[in-house]
Amino acid sequence: MREKIPIGKMAKLNNITIQTLHHYDKIGLLSPCYIDPETNYRFYSIKQCACLDFIKYLKNMGFTLQEVKEVFAEKDADSISKLLDEQFQLIDQKMNELAQVKKTLKVAAENYRTYMQIPKMGVVEREYLSERIIYCYDGKRDIYEDQLETYEYILRELRDLALIHQFPTSYFCNVGSITRMETIKQRKLTSTEIFMFVDTVCSDVKGIELLPAHEYVSIYCDHFSQEKEYAFKLIDYIVENQLEIAGDYICEVIVELPCRTQYERQMIMKLQIPVKRIN
């Protein structure tokens, strides 16, 4: 070896820390080429910079140090190529997951902006809503009978089924309940079904439904105990304005506020009923 490079100089040459070189030695990734038996000083060869460059190269592609060791352990290009392909697929998966998180953040930001712009709770509005897709689950228990306790249990079941169907966990942040048209027309608010909004139609998954684009009457509600009163207020508005219920009643959770002093969810809900004019 023409030149023994001290550990400090080796770190400086490669823009890394001395602690990093110690760590690489500890995990068996890169060891000094010479250790002085008397002083225990560590020395490297300039040729070992190639190894450090390759470590940086792999780390920039998302490899962990353990995965870098696995690459170093392979002796042929075919094996290394296979590991690189696996890493490519992993990064592709992570990008898809991040894309879902980005969508969730976008929806959450829009919902919070909507919340900040609500002039007053309990005011009926008419609006046109675009087509939406939901994954609906029937928990077989009326959430309005035992109120939030039942709702929480059924939410757990919905979440577990969503994981089985490999839905992104970000979907679970945009949920609601549904009362079928035949029931709400009888001025009854009962529901055993909850749902979460999804992005695409999965034809092989039972429970996927389309909420068609339609005109809705809607009202905002900030407590579960007020929902029945406000839902009936929507029905009264429909009757008074010579409209007709044209679909299922939807209770959509717009935002959830931090629970600081209470144990139950602090939800802002948007109650919606599709309508049409009486012929």
Full pLDDT tens readout for the chain, 279 residues? 568 899 999 999 999 999 999 999 999 999 999 999 999 999 999 999 999 999 998 898 888 999 888 888 876 777 778 888 888 888 888 888 888 788 878 877 887 787 788 778 889 999 999 999 999 999 999 988 876 788 888 989 998 988 888 887 777 778 999 999 999 999 999 999 999 998 877 667 888 999 999 999 999 998 888 899 999 999 999 999 999 999 999 999 988 776 655 666 778 899 999 999 987
pLDDT at 241: 95
Residue whose C-alpha is closest to residue 177's, from 267, 254, 253: 253
pLDDT at 236: 96
Query: Does the predicted TM-score (pTM) go above 0.85?
Result: no
pLDDT at 42: 93
